[in-house]
Amino acid sequence: MNDISRRTLLKGCASVLCTSRCAQITAFTAPFFLSQSQEAKAWVMAALAVASTVASMIAANNAGDGGIGALLEANYKTLQEAVKKLDDIQSRLSEIYEKLEALPDEIDRLLRQETTRKLQVELMAVVRGYGEKLNARDPAQTDQQWRRDPVTQRDIANLLFRLQKARQEVNVQNLLDPSTALVATSLGYVEANLQNILGYRRYEIASTISTIYLPWLEAILDPNITNSTAGYTLAANNRLAALMSAAAINPVGASVGFRAGEQGTSVTLSPVEQSLLACVGINDYRPKKTDFDDMGDCINPKYTSVPAPGANSVASTGPDDPSGNSLTFLKNGHQLSTPEVMRLFGRTSSNFPPLGSLLTDPQVLANSDVEIAFSCNRVRGRVTSERIGAKDRLMSNVSLKEGELIEAGQPTGVLMLSLSKSEEQRGTAGGSGMVSDTSCELQTQDMVDANDRLSRMRAMGRWAEAEKNYSDLSLLVDQINLERGRIAYGGRAMLACEVTRQSLTKLVDDYA
């Protein structure tokens, strides 16, 4: 892999890593909630993020020469410190490999190689055995005496044999994935140290590095090799670009900050912490209605309009209509008595409205929920009053936040997206906290029951569509976070390999 393309890929990984100015994600203000998908997959990204953190530790440690210089300078104390750091790193690697083995996605199958796990276990055992030899050294011995001691030579030769055997199994299988890469970055230093103690000549050590480790690291860093760390990272980067594009064309995604680039440029993201997800409303309304076409003489009835005292209906008999005329008032299916009718209209028997006005004046019965059944001049019918009911509204907001993933109280340096939506907010048109009706889908329905209105609003097109778009975006955000985790892990593993490659190259030059 040439330096330019390597730098380009490493630079591309930086977009998912947090800078020093990046703030920790704070708790969402209630009542926002993460989707079940995000909660279920959070541990996967956490595992990848922790792995990427360990990769950074390795890169920092390998910026030197892995303790070889300390050995050449007979600086025993510095060598002990180098091996202790290596032991700490291998302990962390052992922990994260256990987590990586549990990753459910087939994409991460490369990270679950059993051979790599065995190599890492063997490497950790060798490093610890190496450390035990250093710690058990007789203080009375000089560095030279300790190195030439037959017991030291025997034990170190055994450690080297175990290390080379495990390494050869990995090389035969051509394992180049990020998990193997992190082991490879430490392996070369340890093998060179052991060879040094056993008295290998400089050109032999340089040859091991040049013919085994440098080609191995170059292959790990080659994006043209599908199963390489660079290939793994590049594939994750391509999937991320596709996911970002899908999020940008999702209506909810566009509302929370995903912006499609112009003329094929990449998608940009400026997270919006509160945006309207959906607003719907039902205007409860029932118009005045009669179920007959011609009221005939009922408009100017030939009878008195005074209610009959004590009767259960308002009835009267006109001189020209011996059969009589009658009015019956009903409310919610209940027939009203004369006193109830009087109270309803705020009238007395002396000023009770005539039948004609009850049938034709929309203001008389407006919002009274009263129906009139009448009989007049052989015309029978029913009048339903107009009702202007509640202007019911239902809305919900959506939020997208971006911040550094914190795992076990420690920052990982990896940026994570958190998509959430608020609880349903119900109110009346123009009420506190409600958006303008211009942002809502509205329907006018004869629907006096509040529960019926709620069910209807939840079934309205805009609400159902918004819920689906949110669900789709939630899955996209979940996958975006996973790809960011993969890029962070792969990118930092590449960085560790690049640092190691440069250090080992310098070491070969020094040995030559």
Asked whether the predicted pLDDT for residue 485 surpasses 60, the reply is yes
Please tell me which residue, 409 or 248, carries the higher pLDDT value: 248
* Rounded-to-integer distance, Cα 387 and Cα 369, Å: 7
Res. 40: pLDDT tops 50: no
Handedness of CA 55, 56, 60, 61 (dihedral sign): negative
Contact in structure between 51 and 96 (CB atoms under 8 Å): yes
How does residue 482 score in pLDDT terms, banded at 50, 70 and 90?
confident
In the chain, what percentage of residues exceed pLDDT 90? 27
> Do 6 and 493 contact (CB within 8 A), yes or no?
no
Q: Of the segments 155-159, 290-294, 384-388, 503-507, which one has the largest average pLDDT value?
A: 155-159
Q: Is the pLDDT of residue 52 over 70?
A: no
Say how far apart CA 68 and CA 191 lie, in whole Å: 10
Neighbours of 405 (CB within 10 A): 27
Other CB atoms within 10 Å distance of the CB of residue 215: 11
Q: Percentage of residues in the chain with pLDDT exceeding 70?
A: 61
pLDDT: is 508 or 312 the higher one? Answer: 508
Q: What is the DSSP string of 221-290?
A: T-TTSTTBHHHHHHHHHHHHHHHHHHHHHSHHHHHTTEEPPGGGPPPEE---S-EEEEEEEEEEEE--EE
**How far is it, in rounded angstroms, from Cα 228 to Cα 106?**
16
More reliable by pLDDT, 237 or 86: 237
Say what the pLDDT of residue 107 is. Answer: 57
Q: Is 472 helix (H, G, I), strand (E, B) or coil?
A: helix
Residue-wise pLDDT for 255-298, tens only, equals 999 998 776 668 888 999 999 999 999 999 988 776 654 555 55
For residue 194, the model assigns a pLDDT of 86
Report, as an integer, the average pLDDT of 487-503: 85
311-324 pLDDT per residue, tens: 333 433 333 333 45
Q: What is the pLDDT of residue 19?
A: 40
DSSP letter assigned to residue 438: G
Q: What is the mean pLDDT of residues 388-416?
A: 87
Question: Quick one: average pLDDT of 41-60?
Answer: 63
> Any idea of the CA torsion for 298, 303, 305, 307, to the nearest 10 degrees?
-120
Q: How sure is the predictor about 301, in pLDDT bands with cuts at 50, 70 and 90?
A: very low
The pLDDT of residue 499: 84
Question: By mean pLDDT, which of 61-65, 189-193, 456-460 is the weakest?
Answer: 61-65
Work out the pLDDT band at 352, boundaries 50, 70, 90.
low
Quote the CA–CA distance of 507 and 101 in Å, as a whole number.
34
Average pLDDT value for residue range 138-167: 87
> For the purposes of burial, counting CB atoms within 10 Å of the CB of 181, is it exposed (0-12), middle (13-18) or buried (19 or more)?
buried
Position 375 scores a pLDDT of 60
Q: What is the distance between the alpha carbons of residues 231 and 228, in angstroms, rounded to a whole number?
A: 5
Q: What is the pLDDT of residue 85?
A: 65
pTM above 0.85, yes or no: no
Helix (H, G, I), strand (E, B) or coil at 113: coil
**Whole-angstrom Cα distance, residue 227 to residue 405?**
27
Q: What mean pLDDT comes out for the span 105-128?
A: 70
Q: Specify the pLDDT at position 131.
A: 80
**Exposed, middle or buried: residue 57 (CB in 10 Å: 0-12, 13-18, 19+)?**
middle
